[in-house]
Amino acid sequence: MSDVSLVVSGMGGRSTVGAITLDALLSETTELSSQTTAYAVEEGAPVSDHIRPENERLSLSGWVTASTTTLYSGASGRSKLVAAKDALRAIHRDRLPVVVVTGLDTYTDMVMESCKISRDTQGDFFDIACELRKIRKVKLRSVDIPPEKVAAANSKARGKAGGTKTNAGKVAPAVPTEKQASDLRRLLGRS
């Protein structure tokens, strides 16, 4: 574990996923992808005229150990592992955006798509492997409509809307003409 600790300390700080501090960050993969349009043409290569960026993805793996460094107020040993696992469950269950800090970057508005927590008999630590995706938040905007536009729209729509709880009546099924019936029988092979 000392080799991993040297690598992590050389990257400029502790790595965190939300409120969980990783004792060692083993790998970090950032994926920036886009989709391009492709329109077939009669001759030659497809034409591409638009690029749609996709949300940034982050894959990371690391260790949480039972070492005496504190994760929460005074949690140490096995209770630290239990608290970290509970916190990962809460991040997944609550579906709230978290901030992820690594030695290279700070990722904001990340949501957990998956998290694999594994442990074996080799010591008091567990491996985590998380897949996170950046979300884009939208904001509701409202616009004031000039009163003269509202008045004009209301005068055009007056008397055009149907009434509430009004019987719409019944429609009788249409009876096909002899020619339509004959054409149908011919199509179905029943001359």
Q: How confident is the model at residue 169 (pLDDT cuts 50, 70, 90)?
A: confident
Q: What is the pLDDT of residue 158?
A: 66
Q: Please give the average per-residue pLDDT across 102-117, as a whole number.
A: 92
- Cα torsion through 127, 95, 79, 26, rounded to 10: 20
**Which position has the higher pLDDT, 4 or 128?**
128
Q: Where are the alpha helices (DSSP H) in the chain?
A: 2-10, 78-94, 147-157, 178-188
* Domain layout of the chain by residue ranges: 2-134
User: Is the entire prediction scored with pTM above 0.85?
Assistant: no
By residue count, the chain amounts to 191
Whether the per-residue pLDDT at 1 is higher than 90: the answer is no
Provide the pLDDT confidence category of residue 3 given band limits of 50, 70 and 90. Answer: very low
Report the topology of domain 2-134.
Elongation Factor Tu (Ef-tu); domain 3 (2.40.30)
Q: What per-residue confidence (pLDDT) applies to 81? A: 87
Identify the CA nearest to 61 among candidates 18, 7, 14, 117: 117
User: Which phi and psi angles does 155 have, rounded to 5°?
Assistant: -70, -35
42-91 per-position pLDDT tens digit? 888 888 888 999 999 999 999 988 875 444 444 456 788 888 999 999 99
Would the pLDDT of 161 be above 80? no
For residues 38-45, give the mean pLDDT.
Answer: 85
pLDDT greater than 90 at residue 38: no
Q: Which of 108, 101, 13 is nearest to 60 (CA)?
A: 101
Confidence of residue 125 (pLDDT cuts 50, 70, 90): confident
